[in-house]
Amino acid sequence: MAAGYKNESQPDTNEKIILAARTEFADHGYDGARVDRIAVSAGVNKAMIYYHFNSKRNLYLAVIKNHFEVIKTYALKDVDPETSLENILRILASTFVDMSSRITSFKPIILRELANPNREVLKEIVAAFTESRLPELLGHSLSIEVQKGNVRPMDVRQMIASFITMNIGYLLLAPLINRVLVIDDRETFIQERREAVVDIFLNGIRTR
Amino acid sequence: MAAGYKNESQPDTNEKIILAARTEFADHGYDGARVDRIAVSAGVNKAMIYYHFNSKRNLYLAVIKNHFEVIKTYALKDVDPETSLENILRILASTFVDMSSRITSFKPIILRELANPNREVLKEIVAAFTESRLPELLGHSLSIEVQKGNVRPMDVRQMIASFITMNIGYLLLAPLINRVLVIDDRETFIQERREAVVDIFLNGIRTR
DNA sequence: TATTGTTAACCAACTGGTTAGTTTAACCTT
DNA sequence: AAGGTTAAACTAACCAGTTGGTTAACAATA
């Protein structure tokens, strides 16, 4: 009766646990998450969690590390650094939108982590950003355009902060904004958003 | 010996509890918050918390309700609806910045609430936004400028979403952005941000 | 003026359920 | 033989909520 023993090998206990833990932590937060529940939904004995991860905290960190590896898969590695600013912006906007729908269970984890920034985890997030070379790429392109006179002289960090928040900020605040602005067709709105943010931002910084 | 009974009326147990609870919930989240700890830091017996609020959940909701009343104090009620769009934007940007520094303990609570949107609480937040007449005022002003031909025709909701996220998004994501963009003097950056967001947004939507 | 009753505010100590983490003894596969 | 796995029982701490009472203030009664 007991579910097959045998190392039939794949689904890989380790991964099953991380997957179950991810949704548990996303749904309930660290303190609200229950190790027993993770064990059940992973179809694994609780002892296995401690065998593989030693502690709840450790499992939590493993979930986060694992997720960043996933994220790096969708990263913007192969953006031609010589491409136009407009192209970079378009790619970024699309990447944010695409990513957000693929990492739904990560969003709540990040939001909670932002609530009480924890050195360890924050470092990981910052590293992911840095490794993506997004700020570097964007900052570089913006500086050049300023020199060329195509973009008005202005603190480049303010520009980057604006573009990032227009994108990520919406993805995080969506449940709120969608209600306040009475947005019914969220899918359409988010798709149109890709063009809107590039449009507004680009015109916002361009020389008139 | 026992600390004076008598209704010597002020410090008001009720308020002391809410104040202590606010920081406890902000620091640890709902599940991480400890009623015992709230009692100690409020300098009150735990039973009093149940006497006054019945349950942890109830206390949590009381903290949120109380905070919205505080927020409405700083609200934008007296913005002249006939003032220019630029003025409205300036006022909004300033209000967001000012507010954020006064409601520090509310920020983490909101972030966590966004992580797992809860009907009851979300409704409260949306109501606060609506009551502030911010979206209405901004939407109205934008529509008029579009009609006048001063602002390019575009989904007004996309514009509002952009402006709100540039402002609130930054305040929420600050711990992250400040590190990614290596912003040392945060105070200066946030002050300069008030002008930057209005500048970028306004130019972004204006007819060329 | 004492006496009694009532009530809101308060408290120390307890209860009972929960939970992270452990242990044991066995089983399976390589 | 070893590493992965299971079910189940266990523990020690923890924690939301309760209990059974105390205290001060006030008002009605006598």
- pLDDT by 10s per residue, chain A, length 208: 233 333 333 358 899 999 999 999 999 999 999 999 999 999 999 999 999 999 999 999 999 999 888 887 776 666 787 899 999 999 999 989 988 888 899 999 999 999 998 888 888 889 888 888 888 999 999 999 999 999 999 999 999 999 999 999 999 999 999 999 999 999 999 999 999 999 999 999 999 8
Gap between the Cα atoms of A24 and A19, Å rounded: 9
- Among A164, A88, A74, residue whose Cα is nearest residue B174: A164
- The Cα of B115 is separated from the nearest Cα of chain A by a number of Å equal to 4
Residue in B with minimal Cα distance to A180: B126
Decide: helix, strand or coil at residue A122: helix
Q: How many angstroms is C1' of C3 away from CA of B6?
A: 22
* B169 touches B197 (CB < 8 A): no
Provide the Cα torsion B149, B151, B155, B161; round to 10°.
-160
* B88 touches B151 (CB < 8 A): no
Instruction: Give residue B11's pLDDT band: very low, low, confident or very high (50, 70, 90).
Output: low
Sign of CA dihedral B197, B202, B205, B207: negative
Cα-trace Rg, chain A:
21
Instruction: Give residue B51's pLDDT band: very low, low, confident or very high (50, 70, 90).
Output: very high
DSSP B10-66: TT-HHHHHHHHHHHHHHHHHHHH--HHHHHHHHTS-HHHHHHHHSSHHHHHHHHHHH
SS (H, E, C) B97-119: HHHHHHCCCHHHHHHHHHHCCCH
Gap between the Cα atoms of A9 and A22, Å rounded: 22
Q: Which residue in B126, B154, B175 is closest to A176 by CB distance? A: B126
Instruction: Determine the average pLDDT of the residues in B34-59.
Output: 95
Q: Give me the phi and psi of A83, to 5 degrees please.
A: -70, 165
Q: Please tell me the pTM assigned to this model.
A: 0.88
Give the model's pLDDT for residue A5: 34
Q: Which nucleotides of C are covered by protein (CB under 7 A)?
A: 9-13, 19-24, 27-30
- Among B172, B28, B29, residue whose Cα is nearest residue B99: B172
- Among A73, A19, A162, residue whose Cα is nearest residue B162: A162
- The Cα of B44 is separated from the nearest Cα of chain A by a number of Å equal to 25
- Among B191, B205, B206, B202, residue whose Cα is nearest residue B87: B202
Tokens standing for residue A192: 């149109």
Instruction: Give residue B205's pLDDT band: very low, low, confident or very high (50, 70, 90).
Output: very high
Least confident of A96-100, B61-65, B108-112, B153-157: A96-100
Residues 6+ apart with CB under 8 A from A204: A162, B199, B200, B201, B202, B203, B204, B205
Gap between the Cα atoms of A66 and A23, Å rounded: 13
- Among B174, B199, B190, B198, residue whose Cα is nearest residue B111: B174
The pLDDT tens digits for A116-149 are 988 888 888 898 888 888 889 999 999 999 999 9
In a 10 Å sphere around its CB, with 0-12 CB exposed, 13-18 middle and 19+ buried, how is residue A128 labelled?
middle
Q: Measuring CA to CA, how many Å separate B150 from each of A100, A172, A174, B208?
A: 34, 31, 28, 9
Tokens standing for residue B199: 């500048």
* Residues near chain D strand, CB within 7 A: A 2-3, 5, 7, 13-14, 43-48, 51-52; B 2, 4-8, 33-36, 46-47, 50, 55-57
- The Cα of B30 is separated from the nearest Cα of chain A by a number of Å equal to 8
Q: Which residue in B26, B126, B181 is closest to A157 by CB distance? A: B181
Helices vs strands, H then E, count in chain B:
11, 0
Give the model's pLDDT for residue A150: 96
* A34 touches A20 (CB < 8 A): no
Give the model's pLDDT for residue A52: 92
Q: Which nucleotides of D are covered by protein (CB under 7 A)?
A: 4-9, 15-20, 23-25
Least confident of A151-165, B53-67, B75-89, B149-163: B75-89
Residue to substitute from A35, A89, A162, interface B, most B β-carbons within 10 A: A162
Q: Provide the percentage of residues in chain B whose pLDDT is more than 90.
A: 72
Give the model's pLDDT for residue A76: 63
Residue B205 parent element (H or E): helix B186-205
Q: How many angstroms is C1' of D2 away from CA of A46?
A: 22
Nucleotide nearest to B56 (CA to C1'): D16
Classify residue B185 as left (phi > 0), alpha (psi -120 to 50) or beta. beta
